Structure 1
Amino acid sequence: MKPFTPSALDEDFLKQIFLHHLNRIYNGKRFLNAHCAHLINIASFEGLKLALDEFSNDVKKQVARMEEIYAIIGETPSPEVCNPIQSIVKDDFCLDENQTIPVLNDLDMMLYVQILEHINITSYRMLITIGKLLKYQDIIQLLTESFDESADNDKLFMLIAKEYITKD
């Protein structure tokens, strides 16, 4: 297949790229939102339960912001066939519900949430970049708020993992 190098992207094509990425993260966040309560329920470390609850609340806020973005640009979400967040969450983070050592499941949850947040950080960064090209000022603010929450959650789960392991 011959490599394709696009010329300067026109506004319609940029909007198509924007919607593609917005749909992926939106559908992933909605799927994640449906599974957060289960993760909170099976966490054994109290600090992790609290962090997952905060994470769950942030996911809800991010979904609401994305719905606001769809309204601003006059679009509706479309289902995605390939969804990286759904693919990671679908297998229940590879958690073993018969695990006799709770720390293993808790640390796996922390690892997978951080992986998800890295996907989100990258997705929001891409959306912000495209949003700037499209001059979506109000949308850029909404995306920046979601980006900041994902970055903060990534740091939070890293600190909780350290606390859990070192008990400092």
Structure 2
Amino acid sequence: MEPHTPPAPDKKFLKQIFLHHLTRIYNGKRFLRERTPHLIELASFEALKLAVKEFGGDVKKQLERMEDIYKLIGETPSPDICNPISSIVRDEFCLDDDQEVPLLNDLDLMLYLQILEHINITSYRMLIMIAKLLKYDEVKQLLTENFDEAADNDQLFTLIAKEYVTPE
């Protein structure tokens, strides 16, 4: 059996795909914005608290950019029907409040925040590709800024994790 490549979607379908993924990431970011103060409280070391605060600030900026994107393309976000981010965050990443070793909770917190950033990086990458096909130049720029922030946050949490586990 020969592999079959589906035909390229038309512009109307591309926009539908774009809106679907934009809405998922937008609603996920809204959920994270609401949970960020609690995530800061979960961190036990100051460097991680500061990083999570920075992450929260970036989430807010990314939401603002996505709201600009909705305006630029003449759409509004749809309700939060399926939000994979909320499923990951819902129970504060299953962190154990009674953990005797705060480092374990902090490493788990960083792991899950990085998982979320990897979802965002992948989503932004796809949205950028579709925006390019739809000739949404301003939108592509806003998405690129969001992509860059997500990648920077991923690197920040990697550096902090390295500080935690690498002997001096």
TM-score by length of 1: 0.95
Structure 2 residue 92 is the aligned partner of structure 1 residue 122: no
Superposed CA offset, 1:17-56 (max 9, x none): 0000000000000001100100101210111001001000
Q: Kindly provide the amino acid, as one letter, of the partner of residue 141 in structure 1.
A: Q
Bigger shift: 90-99 or 52-61? 90-99
Question: Could you list the runs of 4 or more consecutive aligned residues of structure 1 that deviate by over 4 angstroms after TM superposition?
Answer: none
Deviation (angstroms), 1:6: 3.7
Identify the residue that residue 166 of structure 1 maps to in structure 2.
166
Using the alignment, how far apart are the partners of 2:86 and 2:17 within structure 1? 20
Name 2:65's counterpart in structure 1: 65
Shift of 1:80: 3.5
Q: Deviations over 1:78-111 (max 9, x none)?
A: 1232222111111211111121211111000000
Separation in structure 1 between the aligned mates of residue 167 and residue 76 of structure 2, nearest angstrom: 46
Post-superposition offset of 1:167: 4.9
Where does residue 150 of structure 1 map in the other structure?
A: 150
Unaligned runs of 5+ in 2: none
Counterparts of 2:150 and 2:106, CA distance in 1: 19
**Whole-Å Cα distance in 1 between the matches of residues 32 and 88 of structure 2?**
9
| Partner in structure 1 of residue 10 of structure 2 | 10
* 2:118 pairs with 1:112: no
Q: Show the counterpart of 2:133.
A: 133
Residue-by-residue CA offset, 1:112-154 (whole Å, 9 max, x unaligned):
0000000000000000000000000000000000000000000
Task: Tell me how far apart the structure 2 counterparts of residues 150 and 58 of structure 1 sit (CA, whole Å).
Answer: 8
Q: Structure 1: any 5+ residue segments left out of the alignment?
A: none
CA distance in structure 1 between the partners assigned to 2:8 and 2:107 by the alignment: 45
Report the counterpart of residue 38 of structure 1 in structure 2: 38
Q: Distance in 2 between matches of 1:53 and 1:102?
A: 18
The 1-side partners of 2:105 and 2:116 are apart by 16
Amino acid at match of 2:57: N
